[in-house]
């Protein structure tokens, strides 16, 4: 299925947006809208991701349009880069496929007061120590172990629980999306199997596209926003990308099993069984949401503990406290989540369940849900690229509220499957290729680097150019990698 090209008709809306008309497929309730350049839309035609956009348009209660960002690629049920909003008062459903297996996978960006020349002599030492101290790879466990009572608190409270241990500060919480808390979380909805998988994985990086990178600010396009965030030219920063590990995967797996018969029970016809769903206000829907929100807390705690360990390594190698190094969290954003938010839909304010699958919230200046310090510039948006080129930090814009339920892209987006990337890397040393670019990379295996090589991804500069032109988010600064830790 993934290798078949999309044969449907696309209508160009404007320079950054394409429409799949709801007449394309029986059952579509709304149009599909895809934000992309000409080059990116042609790349998107190569698999069935656009077909998935059309499929999502068939979900009961969907409002506005079925959306996709320019980093779109094929996924489970929803495409990665897919966005939709459903109205619970109109039978709107919740679908685990619209959140993903890695619940609340996300990115956080940490600034320092260090310049690149100060870090360069110790770069290899820093990378080696980070790789040694931070568990990375499939199934890896870490040094943080939580017994049942502690796990229930972690799942129910999120990273605020970690402040009691000295592993998080109030400033860290304040600079985390939604302050790292979702009110509907209920740890009792998380299966024993899921909790068992997660009990020693909080504070571990995982595998696949997850990473920890040391980066340097090489371009600033919005000096005002950069100043507010504390960013400056040639500054060393740290970017962390990880999610809810085995716990989140199991929560999704459990939900898909429990929802298998829900469509038939509620009279829902689906074009793809991977879109298994239930009305958000049904017992099945509420049970999944409570478990999903608990897994989201786990993911925020995971990234918090990864940052805590990275701070310790920097402090040890550089001989200063992390506070004196200025290692402050700029922001933490999630990109695999469903949230009940208020949006303007056809002239009316409605509370809708916004599914963001590989897509990032991008609230504009003045939005009440972003930290006070960012009220004038908009919510920080962190867009990782690939380990050989660059990543970006942006800020949300008003256009996102008007066009995409307050959403923008979440990364560069895969261009090659992992299998194809490994095939392309045969006979090559990706680590040496990166080193020739001035990037020190460490990974658990050759295959891990091969799967994540730069050629496997779209050009992140082009992707963020689209969301800026579409007025979903605005570029602030570009960061190039100098040190990479992979699973």
Q: Which of 240, 245, 278 is closest to 261 using CA atoms?
A: 278
Q: Which of 393, 334, 330 is closest to 158 using CA atoms?
A: 334
Instruction: Identify any residues that bridge with 193 across adjacent strands, giving them in sequence order.
Output: none
Provide the 10 A C-beta neighbour count for residue 166. Answer: 8
- What is the Cα–Cα distance from 164 to 287, expressed in whole angstroms? 29
Q: Which of 464, 468, 414 is closest to 47 using CA atoms?
A: 414
What length is written for the chain?
487
Is the Cβ–Cβ distance between 413 and 47 less than 8 Å?
A: no
Structure tokens at 133: 């101290």
Is the Cβ–Cβ distance between 225 and 99 less than 8 Å?
A: no
Which one is catalytic: 73, 308, 343, 410?
410
- What is the Cα–Cα distance from 101 to 82, expressed in whole angstroms? 14
Q: Which of 117, 310, 279, 103 is closest to 204 using CA atoms?
A: 310
Residue 296 phi, psi (nearest 5): -60, -40
Is the Cβ–Cβ distance between 64 and 85 less than 8 Å?
A: yes
Strands 62-73 and 32-35: parallel
- What is the Cα–Cα distance from 128 to 481, expressed in whole angstroms? 15
Cβ neighbourhood burial of 267 (10 Å; 0-12, 13-18, 19+): exposed
- According to DSSP, residue 80 is labeled E
Is the Cβ–Cβ distance between 204 and 245 less than 8 Å?
A: yes
- What is the Cα–Cα distance from 283 to 395, expressed in whole angstroms? 37
Is the Cβ–Cβ distance between 115 and 236 less than 8 Å?
A: yes
Q: Which residues contact 64 (CB under 8 A, 6 or more apart)?
A: 30, 85, 345, 346, 405
Is 343 one of the annotated active-site residues of the chain?
Answer: no
Positions annotated as catalytic residues are 410
């Amino acid at each position: 299925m993934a290798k078949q090209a999309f044969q449907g008709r696309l209508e160009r809306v404007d320079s950054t947006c394409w429409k799949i008309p709801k007449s394309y497929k029986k059952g579509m309730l709304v149009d599909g809208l895809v934000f992309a350049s000409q080059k990116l839309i042609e790349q998107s035609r190569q698999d069935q991701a656009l077909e998935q956009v059309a499929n999502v348009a068939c979900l009961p209660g969907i409002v506005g349009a079925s959306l996709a960002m320019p980093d779109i690629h094929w996924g489970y049920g929803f495409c990665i880069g897919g966005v939709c909003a459903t109205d619970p008062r109109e039978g709107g459903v919740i679908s685990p496929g619209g959140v993903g297996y890695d619940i609340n996978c996300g990115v956080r960006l940490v600034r320092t007061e260090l310049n690149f020349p100060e870090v360069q002599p110790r770069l290899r030492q820093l990378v080696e120590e980070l790789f040694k101290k931070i568990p990375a790879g499939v199934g890896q466990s870490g040094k943080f172990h939580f017994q049942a009572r502690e796990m229930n608190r972690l799942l129910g409270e999120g990273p605020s629980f970690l402040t009691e241990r000295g592993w998080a500060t109030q400033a860290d919480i304040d600079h985390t999306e939604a302050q790292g808390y979702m009110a509907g979380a209920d740890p009792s909805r998380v299966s024993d199997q899921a909790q068992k998988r997660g009990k020693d994985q909080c504070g571990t990086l995982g595998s696949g596209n997850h990473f920890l990178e040391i980066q340097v600010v090489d371009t600033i396009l919005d000096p005002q926003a950069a100043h507010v965030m504390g960013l400056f030219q040639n500054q060393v920063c740290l970017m962390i990308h990880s999610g809810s590990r085995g716990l989140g995967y199991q929560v999704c797996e459990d939900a898909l099993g429990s929802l298998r018969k829900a469509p038939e029970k509620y009279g829902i016809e689906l074009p793809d069984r991977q879109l298994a769903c239930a009305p958000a206000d049904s017992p099945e829907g509420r049970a999944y949401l409570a478990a999903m929100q608990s897994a989201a807390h786990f993911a925020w705690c995971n990234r918090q503990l990864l940052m805590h360990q990275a701070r310790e390594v920097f402090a040890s190698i550089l001989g200063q406290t992390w506070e004196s190094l200025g290692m402050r969290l700029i922001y933490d954003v999630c990109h695999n989540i469903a949230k009940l938010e208020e949006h303007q839909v056809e002239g009316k304010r409605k509370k809708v369940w916004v599914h963001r699958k590989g897509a990032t919230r991008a609230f504009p200046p003045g939005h009440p849900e972003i930290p006070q310090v960012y009220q004038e510039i908009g919510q920080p948006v962190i867009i990782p690229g690939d380990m050989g080129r660059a990543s970006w930090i942006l800020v949300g814009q008003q256009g996102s509220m008007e066009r995409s339920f307050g959403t923008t892209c979440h990364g560069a987006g895969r261009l090659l499957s992992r299998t194809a990337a490994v095939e392309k890397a045969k006979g090559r040393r990706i680590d040496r290729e990166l080193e020739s670019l001035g990037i020190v990379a460490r990974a658990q295996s050759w295959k891990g680097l091969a799967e994540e090589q730069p050629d496997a991804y779209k050009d992140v500069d082009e992707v963020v150019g689209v969301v800026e032109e579409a007025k979903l988010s605005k570029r602030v600064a570009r960061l190039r990698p100098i040190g990479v830790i992979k699973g």
